[in-house]
Amino acid sequence: MINAHVTVRGDVDAVDVYAGSEPMVSQVVKAVCRWKYEPATLDGSPFPVWKAIRIEPPPERP
């Protein structure tokens, strides 16, 4: 589980990792930092938010 701070421009400028294991967590953090979000708005004005992102491990191969 990670939390990503999304700015008023929709960029991720900070990430906190709460659960997960390497090397998957590092790869997820790198990917999330490249994502672009539509900013949250209140009364039409954008504001920064923290977004929780759940990390799902890939299914095991048979």
Q: pTM of the full predicted structure?
A: 0.79
4-51 per-position pLDDT tens digit:
999 999 999 999 998 877 888 888 899 999 999 998 999 999 999 999
Nearest to 16 by CA among 61, 58, 51, 60: 51
3-class secondary-structure state, position 18: coil
| Beta-carbon-side half-sphere exposure of residue 47 (alpha carbons within 13 Å) | 6
Q: Give the integer Cα–Cα distance in Å for 30 and 16.
A: 12
Q: Would you place residue 55 in the very low, low, confident or very high pLDDT band (cuts 50, 70, 90)? A: confident
Judged against a pLDDT cut of 80, whether residue 1 lies above it is answered with yes
* pLDDT score, position 57: 73
Judged against a pLDDT cut of 90, whether residue 60 lies above it is answered with no
